[in-house]
Amino acid sequence: MGELENFRKKIDKIDDDILEILNKRAQYVLEVGNIKRRKKVKFYKPEREKKILERLATNNDGPFPNDALKSIYREILSASLALEEPLRVSCLGPLATFTHLAALRHFGSSASFVPVDSIKAVFDNVETGKAEYGVVPIENSNEGVVSYTLDMFMDSDLKVNAEIILEISHNLLSRQTDKSRIKKIYSHPQALAQCRGWLESNMPGIPVVDATSTAKASELAAKDKGAAAIASELAARMYDLNIIERNIEDSRHNITRFLVISKESPPKTGNDKTSIMFSVKDRPGALYDILTPFKRANINLTKIESRPSKRKAWEYIFFVDMEGHVGDKKVMKAIDSMREGCLFLKILGSYPQGRIQ
């Protein structure tokens, strides 16, 4: 037996062992599911999944890379949860949008995804129980905040359960293999804006057509041999399109942040973020006074955004993200100190800080 065949046999044996161990793990998962069902305990515990991934990454001595390890285990955890009870996740559709991709990265491919055509419909699905979780975009590093998502929190009792930070990569997709044969390009206006420089340099004179989503653009390109779409690699796989050019976005630092919404907030992890919204009384120095307790408590505010309240002229709602959890005494004390100076105050949730995926 040659040296190569010898190593292949060893790898085959390891693969067989992994398969046996995975099925043994699945048997334990089914037992855990029965116990949870009897005790009426929630099936999905994101804090438990986070601890598993962190423990494995810490214990990993290599050479297998941690990023790949986490991706594999996210799928194992997703498939395991589906054995207990399939998790329903609503996201801005159709499938293969970047919101769907963010949901896949967070929940794994074994979740049951419920695509809808608006951010409001994502909120509605979670509020009515059609889905346990929803995924909505909140801001992009180049295009700014998604105002409609912020507006939805004003009247919704849903909580922020997690954040997903996704590096956005745009690709030129088509049934063609040569971009010189492309006569039309479809995409979502935001994706087109993020690729404007590349389009002007590489596809001058080619008409671009707005689509309701990058996934819809891919669907249109799949039906039109002379057309292309700007979309994700996932869209290329789902609509059987060729990737003619990769990474055509003008900025290589194109990050979109998504929020996972649900009826509950997760417990403390030790590396958390809290989001609140409030309006202040109209007087000089009001906002300064409201935010002073956070400075005194040495709490870092990572984001502050204002929006018209739409209820009274020149009244604004402020959205603030801060480091820490409402279970932390100093965070809760700072928020309580705000109340007297606020016309309105709402805690949107505390949740684990995300990392770029």
Residues known to be catalytic: 256, 258
pLDDT at residue number 67: 87
The pLDDT assigned to 2 comes to 80
Angle between helices 286-296 and 329-338 (to 10 degrees): 160
Q: Which residues of the chain have pLDDT under 70?
A: 1, 310-314, 357
H/E element holding 347?
strand 342-352
Radius of gyration of the chain (CA): 23
Q: The dihedral of CA 241, 242, 243, 244: what is its sign? A: negative
Backbone angles phi, psi at 49, to 5 degrees: -65, -40
Tell me whether residue 316 is exposed, middle or buried, using C-beta atoms within 10 angstroms of its C-beta: 0 to 12, 13 to 18, 19 or more.
middle
Report the C-alpha gap between 89 and 108 in whole angstroms: 11
Apex CA 146: angle with CA 160 and CA 75, to 5°? 50
pLDDT at 348: 95
| The predicted structure's pLDDT at residue 259 | 95
The DSSP secondary-structure symbol of 224 reads -
Q: What is the reported pLDDT for 237?
A: 93
Quote the CA–CA distance of 348 and 354 in Å, as a whole number. Answer: 16
Residues 6 or more apart in contact with residue 150 via CB below 8 angstroms: 138, 277, 305, 307, 317, 319
Domains, the chain, with CATH or none:
3-84 (1.20.59.10), 88-167 (3.40.190.10), 171-245 (3.40.190.10), 266-352 (3.30.70.260)
pLDDT at residue 311, as a whole number: 67
pLDDT at 205: 92
pLDDT digits (tens, 9 = 90+) for 84-96: 777 899 998 788 9
Is pTM beyond 0.75? Reply is yes
* Helix (H) / strand (E) containing 8: helix 3-39
Sign of torsion over alpha carbons 245, 249, 254, 255: negative
Q: What is the pLDDT of residue 1?
A: 60
